[in-house]
Structure 1
Amino acid sequence: MPEPLSSDINLSDNAFWALPPEERHAAFRRLQALDSPPFFEAGESPFGVPERGYYALVRHADVAEASRNPALFSSAAGATSIFDLPAEFNEYFGSMINMDDPRHARLRRIVSRAFTPKMIKKFEEDVQRTAGVIVDELLKTGPCDFVQHVSARLPLKIICEMMGIGDEHYEMVLRNTNIILSGADPEFISEDINEALTQILTSGGDLAALVTGLAEQRQANPIDDVISSLATANIDGEQLTPAELASFFVLLVVAGNETTRNAISHALLLLTEHPDQRELLLADLDGRIGPAVEEIVRYVSPVIWMRRTLTADTVSNGHAYQANDKVLLMYQAANRDESVFGPTAGQFDITRSPNPHVGFGAAGPHFCLGAHLARREITAILRELLTRVPDIRPAEEPDRLLSSFINGIKHMPCEFG
């Protein structure tokens, strides 16, 4: 067992994640300068079992190498929790993000085949139309909480439309996704650990029950939506079980909603804090919007880390790991690695090229399945905002989510002329 890092940096302490972003990035730079990946104690497990610490992979090369080698750096013991989860959590949260091949490949194959070219084209049209409606309503509403009225609405509305979930369920879905990805933020979740665990399990159960009930209806009467496609899919004799469909929905609605929402919120903040970049984007919106979205995702890193567990003793980039070691792929740190992004790694530059960020994960079997949709959503809403409400800006400092896992903005009042 390695010695824990003897310094003032502790990635397991909520106080670290309450620091201003630039202080956290300064800490990541110090960790990247170490000879080997730093080791941290995980703290006391909320599940009452002995807990071991983890290595933080803060360099881009280490994150990329682990992502390329899923047979050694496994997701099966859990990708989204530092602590090992008990069986009842994996019932709702045991989606393909927490699987290795061949189970992971099977699920991804079935899910991917359900997203036909016709369906993808329809989503893209829906994204543009929905972004337009949201900005129509913003102009009627006037200055408001940008997160509530704009950035939270677009991805959740698209996912609910994709899945065939009616507007009457919107508030329930939003509330439960906020709880599941609440981190340690007391606005959304109890500070009592047992109550918090119950809240998370209840939220997962409510979302699973919603989609399982809809899937039963669609099997009898399919319509043109993703739940129908998944509930009736038979790919080379393979079908999703009800539990697999439910956990995929929880993954889609939680990951697809929260991450895109936060990228959009941060985008408005960044384009306000960097007026030169905003002017550059407006000067050639069609030519620069694509690279701008990539830079927003790099700079923000909506998902801060994912976990892997070693399946065998191995040496990776010169560091020796033992079987059962835990590592966190620190995407947020890797996306500012000066050995890859140069001395301007800490700058927001919408013309950055190349931009090999890992904001959607690094290349490998777990690269984000929804990256294409996320890019379309961020592009569509920025195009609507910048052409129709060009002077929109935050009215005050954002209220940030207290979480080590999601780089979130909870509230951000906006103003415009």
Structure 2
Amino acid sequence: MALGVDDINLTDWEFWARPLEERQRAFSVLREREGLAFFEESDLVTLPRGPGYYAVVTHADVTEASRRPADFCSGRGAVNIPDLPPEMNEYFGSLISMDDPRHSRIRRIVSRAFSPRMIQQLERQVATAAAGIVSEVRAGGSGDFVADVAARLPLKIICDMMGVPEQHYQTVLDASTLILAGNDPELVVQNNYEEITLNMRVAGQTLYDIVGDLSGRRRADPTDDLTSALVNANIDGESLTDQELGSFFILLLVAGNETTRNAIAHGLHLLTTNPDQRALLLDDFDARIPDAVEEIVRYAAPVIWMRRTATRDTMLNEHHVKAGDKLILYYWSANRDETVFRDPERFDITRHPNPHLGFGGPGPHFCLGAHLARWEITLMLRELFTQLPTIRTVGEPDRLLSDFINGIKHLRYEI
């Protein structure tokens, strides 16, 4: 029996628990339909039920909505489908949930802090950290690739970059994992939205307290870390407030940690289950790794979607959109659009060009940390295949039950 649009419900958690192949087929059906599919929102109990949302699933539509921030804004909620209080949007969204002129002001301050000198320093730190992590695995690991490798590198880099002491590493990891826990039974009480919301707030406050203490010390005694650069930045008389710094810190830790660790985990699994692509990569690693990283990010799409809200009645390509409509931009679907990617379900490290949207679409919200993420994936794969040339994943990944993050919780491996 053919799958129809009426058989698909992106709001239902059961949909996100289905095998990947079934979800991929569902999004293929949505891409083929005329017009934007509309879905009702969940009844969260803790919030008034929202008006529903449109699923934006094609590469062309996601790209067009991304490049028109004046028509499709982020400030009413970018990382959540329900309408949250403004302070909650900024608490967990920071730059992601802002519009101009405030967005450009803060992004300018943050971008200035990423000086060429700091980028060079970060690149050296990534190389050293990746080598050390893989060396420890070679000496003996737990057998869980996420815990032993994928989660450790981005966590260390983000914390070192911000100047967070090592004693807080596990706290940061636990908090960021909880914020993006979705409806996963290993991490939360399923469908208990009051408890899930409370856990998110507690985790967010934990991270906020860490940076609050750190920023106070860096104002009095600056060092060469990113926190010092941010708290002491002054561009045309502008600087970050404590609230802005705290929300940016949460964004950096959660986005920089979770998404990169999932890309690394997906990367090794894809190179294990596609031995022809692994052989191709190892035949000329330096030449092929740039395209391989792009293909990993395309295929994995660690962030499944972001939200935009229409600011006026307008057109999105051939679709009529009304002011106030919620649009969910499904990057995961756009990265498999048959009109853009030939044989999109094939993992192909020679794919070129590869205009994926794994770091977001064009426009002001393109991922600020894309360069760092690419570098971390590159150097970790280099160290893995240099020190542990036979490393491979075993069995299927234990996937996170989430409609937002394409996460891997556990991944067995052998060397």
Determine the structure 1 residue equivalent to 2:321.
321
User: Segments of 4+ in structure 1 off by > 4 A?
Assistant: none
How far 1:50 sits from its partner (Å)? 3.3
Indicate the residue corresponding to 1:281 in structure 2: 281
Structure 1 residues 121 and 17: alpha-carbon distance in aligned structure 2, compared to 1, 3 A threshold: same
Which residue of 2 is the match for residue 44 of structure 1?
Answer: 43
Matches of 1:156 and 1:206 in 2, distance apart?
16
Q: Once the 2 structures are TM-superposed, how far is the Cα of residue 87 of structure 1 from its aligned partner?
A: 4.0
Q: Which whole-Å deviations, capped at 9, do the CAs of 1:347-366 have from their partners, x for residues lacking one?
A: 10000000000000011000
- 1:70 equivalenced with 2:64 (yes/no): no
Alignment of 1:71-90 (within 5 A): 71-90=70-89
Deviations 1:74-105 (A, max 9, x none): 10001000101124523522401000110100
Contact 2:63 2:361 in 1 (8 A): yes
Contact between 1:17 and 1:403, CA under 8 Å: does it hold in 2?
yes
Three-state SS of the structure 2 residue aligned to 1:308 is strand
For 1:268 and 1:377, locate their aligned partners in 2 and report how far apart those are by CA, in whole Å.
13
User: Which segment is superposed worse, 39-48 or 165-174?
Assistant: 39-48
Does residue 363 (structure 1) correspond to residue 368 (structure 2)? The answer is no
Normalization by structure 2: what TM-score? Answer: 0.97
CA deviation vs aligned residue, 1:187-242 (integer Å, no higher than 9, x gap) = 12233221111110000011011001100000000011000000111111110000
**Counterpart in 1 of 2:353?**
354
**How far apart are the structure 1 equivalents of 2:15 and 2:27?**
11
Residue 132 in structure 1 maps to residue 131 in structure 2: yes
Structure 2: distance between partners of 1:299 and 1:249: 28
* One-letter amino acid of the counterpart of residue 137, structure 2: L
Distance 2:369 2:302 in 1: 14
| Counterpart code for 2:117 | K
Q: Secondary structure at the match of 2:18?
A: coil
| 2:181 partner SS | coil
Question: CA, structure 1 residues 248+260, in 2 after alignment: closer, same or farther (shift >3 Å)?
Answer: same
- Which consecutive unaligned segments of at least 5 residues does structure 1 have? none
Aligned-residue offset at 1:44 = 1.1
Residue 339 of structure 1 aligns to a residue whose secondary structure is coil
Aligned to 2:404: 405
Give, in whole Å, the separation in 2 of the partners of 1:67 and 1:90.
Answer: 19
1:70-219 paired onto structure 2 within 5 Å: 70-90=69-89, 92-142=91-141, 144-191=143-190, 192-219=192-219
| Conserved 8 A contact 2:313-2:323 | yes
Counterpart amino acid of residue 258 in structure 1: E
CA contact (8 A) 1:182 1:189 kept: yes
Deviation larger for 69-78 or 184-193: 184-193
Measure the CA separation in 2 of the matches of 1:237 and 1:208. 25
The corresponding residue for 2:253 is 253
Give the structure 1 partner of residue 373 of structure 2: 374
Distance 2:244 2:27 in 1: 37
Q: Deviations over 1:254-279 (max 9, x none)?
A: 00000000000001110011000000
Contact residue 309 and residue 327 of structure 1 kept, 8 A: yes
What is the letter of the counterpart of residue 239 of structure 1? Answer: S
Letter in 2 for 1:374: A
Structure 1 residue identity aligned to 2:195: E
Aligned AA (1:234): N
Question: What's the offset of the Cα at 1:142?
Answer: 4.0
Q: Is the 8 A contact 2:46 2:193 kept in 1?
A: no
Structure 2 distance, partners of 1:118, 1:88, is 34
Distance 2:141 2:211 in 1: 35
Q: Cα distance 1:135–1:94, how it changes in 2: closer, same or farther (>3 A)?
A: closer
Extract unaligned runs of 5+ from structure 2. Answer: none
Secondary structure of 2:217's match? helix
How far, CA to CA, are the matches of 2:150 and 2:115 in structure 1?
27
Structure 1 residues 91 and 364 mapped into 2: Cα distance closer, same or farther (>3 Å)? closer
Give me the whole-angstrom Cα distance separating, in 2, the residues matched to 1:385 and 1:194: 42
> Is 1:297 aligned with 2:297?
yes
In 1, the alpha carbon distance for the partners of 2:295 and 2:99 equals: 30
RMSD: 1.1
- Of the structure 1 ranges 69-78 and 136-145, higher mean CA displacement relative to structure 2 is found in 136-145
Kept in 1: contact 2:293–2:378 (CA 8 A): yes
Instruction: Give me the whole-angstrom Cα distance separating, in 2, the residues matched to 1:208 and 1:164.
Output: 14
Amino acid at match of 1:24: R
**CA distance, structure 1, for counterparts of residue 336 and residue 375 of structure 2:** 24
Kindly indicate whether the alpha-carbon contact (under 8 Å) linking 2:76 and 2:89 is maintained by their aligned counterparts in 1: no
8 Å contact 1:143–1:415 — kept in the other structure? no
CA distance in 1: counterparts of 2:288 and 2:5, whole angstroms = 44
Aligned partner letter, 2:104: A
Secondary structure (helix, strand or coil) at the match of 2:315 reads: strand
Q: Distance in 2 between matches of 1:224 and 1:400?
A: 38
- Contact residue 182 and residue 401 of structure 1 kept, 8 A: yes
- 1:15 Cα deviation after fit: 0.8
Does the CA-based 8 Å contact 2:76-2:83 persist in structure 1? yes
Q: CA deviation at 1:46?
A: 4.1
Cα 1:299/1:204, change in 2 over 3 Å = same
